[in-house]
């Protein structure tokens, strides 16, 4: 099975690298800058358990040419959500009559509809990456948290399942990916809070007031999901509707009940924080923005998530020096909630 990673960023390099390390036929479509970096450095993959995998540059199949997708049996789209339409058009122009499976390992809900709109005759599958992957150095990608990958169930999934098992990457196939995607969004609502805190995830989640901010954003989202009759999947030991209550508990109780949640590499940060620190546009519109869009569809408001979006947009303009303390953020979110009509 030939796999093509379309977008050799943190997620693409990590998943593709883990598969390539066990002998899978994996090619990477990269930007020119990343191509030059990986051609020199190769790949180093590490995780929170202490695992280290190295792949020499000469053993990587790297290309900047989208035409290599014509040889693929399955394509993992791992680009940032803002680039989805461009990638869909490039796939359309290059695939022709070739019909590989296409899996979107991207944030949010809108990427698969975009891919399906442009690639009408292709099999497009929703995917979900639960864990955090951060860049430690050029060519070094680190998995800081745990979790099983999820992919929409399809007829030939056993081939992919065997390959992921060989790579020691847990994968689950689901019929109801909308429930999985919303469960992931509920967890990812912390990305904006973590980015605004400028703290490592473990330190930020150990702060009661930052957790209260997350609980407020989750409660607002869960209320809208209830109205929309969408039941989020259970991705953690704690059900989605219990998450805000557990998160809001005092520190000493939270630490006892949430040991798995805090089983995070001490240096792990959200990808949104990495983007802010690097001066890149974030994916807040595909995380908190999905909540605001759902509210609009229901004729409701989502002032807490809207405020988080506004603060991230301000941070994108202000640069890496922008941050906000837990007390001030909580006050802003409480104020936004009170203004709701």
Which string of DSSP letters, residue by residue, matches 15-78?
HHHHHHHTT-EEEEE--HHHHHHHHHH-EEEEETT--EEEE-GGG-EEES-GGGGGG-SEEEE-
Please provide residue 67's backbone torsions phi and psi, each rounded to the nearest 5 degrees.
-65, -20
- pLDDT for 183 equals 96
pLDDT at 4: 98
**What is the pLDDT averaged over residues 280-304?**
97
Q: What is the pLDDT of residues 37-47, one digit of tens each?
A: 999 999 999 99
pLDDT of res. 257: 73
pLDDT at 260: 64
Please choose, from the candidates 49, 50, 55, the residue with its C-alpha nearest in 3D space to the C-alpha of residue 15.
Answer: 55
- For residue range 90-125, list pLDDT tens digits in order: 999 999 999 999 999 999 999 999 999 999 999 999
Count Cβ neighbours within 10 Å for each residue of 42-52 and write b for 16 or more, e otherwise: bbbbbbbeeee
pLDDT for 145 equals 86
pLDDT of residue 263: 65
User: Which has more pLDDT, 260 or 318?
Assistant: 318
Residue 269 β-bridge partners: none
User: pTM, whole model, 2 decimals?
Assistant: 0.92
pLDDT of residue 146: 87
How sure is the predictor about 33, in pLDDT bands with cuts at 50, 70 and 90?
Answer: very high
- The one-character DSSP state at 81 is G
Interaxial angle between packed helices 326-338 and 303-318, expressed in degrees from 0 to 180 and rounded to the nearest 10 = 130
pLDDT of 75 above 60 = yes
Res 189 pLDDT > 90:
yes
Angle at 297 between CA 292 and CA 298, to 5 degrees: 95
What mean pLDDT comes out for the span 222-251? 93
**Tokens in use for 251?**
């520190």
Report pLDDT digits (tens) over 148-182.
999 999 999 999 999 999 999 999 999 999 999 99
* Share above pLDDT 70 across residues of the chain, in percent, rounded to a whole number: 98
* 150 in Cβ contact with 174 (< 8 Å): yes
Q: What share of the chain is helix, strand, coil (3-state, %, to 5)?
A: 50, 15, 35
Mean pLDDT across 264-278: 86
228: its two tokens = 């929309």
Do the Cβ atoms of 20 and 26 come closer than 8 Å? yes
CB of 69 within 8 A of CB of 94? yes
Residue-level pLDDT at 340: 66
Residue 142: pLDDT above 80? yes
How many residues in total does the chain contain? 341
Of the candidate ranges 22-36, 45-59, 215-229, 246-260, the one whose mean pLDDT is the lowest: 246-260
Q: How many distinct helices (H) and strands (E) make up the chain?
A: 14, 12
The confidence score (pLDDT) of residue 236 equals 83
Cα dihedral 190/240/223/189 (nearest 10): 10
* Per-residue pLDDT, 192: 97
Residues linked to residue 54 through DSSP beta bridges, in sequence order: 44
The predicted pLDDT at position 267 comes to: 79
pLDDT value at 261 more than 70: no
Measured distance CA(98)–CA(118) in Å, rounded:
15
């Amino acid at each position: 099975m030939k796999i093509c990673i379309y977008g050799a960023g943190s997620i693409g390099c990590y998943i593709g690298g883990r598969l390539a390390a066990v002998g899978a036929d994996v090619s990477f479509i990269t930007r020119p800058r990343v191509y030059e970096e990986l051609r020199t450095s190769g790949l180093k993959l590490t995780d929170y358990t202490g695992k280290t995998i190295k792949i020499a540059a000469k053993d990587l199949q790297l290309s900047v040419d989208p035409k290599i997708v014509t040889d693929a049996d399955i394509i993992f789209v791992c680009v940032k959500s803002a680039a989805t339409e461009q990638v869909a058009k490039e796939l359309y122009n290059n695939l022709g009559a070739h019909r590989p499976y296409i899996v979107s390992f991207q944030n949010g809900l809108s990427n698969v509809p975009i891919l399906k709109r442009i690639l009408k005759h292709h099999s497009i599958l929703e995917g979900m990456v639960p864990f955090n992957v951060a860049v430690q150095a050029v060519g070094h990608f680190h998995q800081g948290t745990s979790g099983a990958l999820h992919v929409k169930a399809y007829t030939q999934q056993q081939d992919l399942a065997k390959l992921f098992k060989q790579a020691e990457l847990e994968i689950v196939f689901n019929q109801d990916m909308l429930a999985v995607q919303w469960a992931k969004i509920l967890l990812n609502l912390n990305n904006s809070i973590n980015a605004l805190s400028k703290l490592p995830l473990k330190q930020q989640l150990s702060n009661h007031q930052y957790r209260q901010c997350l609980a407020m954003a989750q409660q607002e989202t869960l209320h809208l999901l209830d109205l929309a009759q969408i039941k989020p999947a259970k991705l953690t030991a704690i059900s989605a509707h219990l998450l805000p209550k557990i998160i809001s508990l005092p520190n000493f109780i939270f630490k006892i009940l949430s040991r798995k949640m805090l089983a995070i590499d001490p240096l792990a940060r959200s990808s949104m924080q990495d983007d802010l620190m690097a001066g890149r546009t974030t994916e807040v519109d595909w995380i908190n923005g999905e909540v605001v869009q759902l509210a609009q569809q229901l004729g409701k408001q989502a002032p807490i998530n809207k405020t988080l979006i506004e603060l991230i947009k301000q941070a994108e303009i202000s640069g890496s020096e922008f941050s906000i303390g837990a007390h001030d953020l909580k006050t802003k979110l409480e104020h936004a909630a009170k203004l709701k009509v």
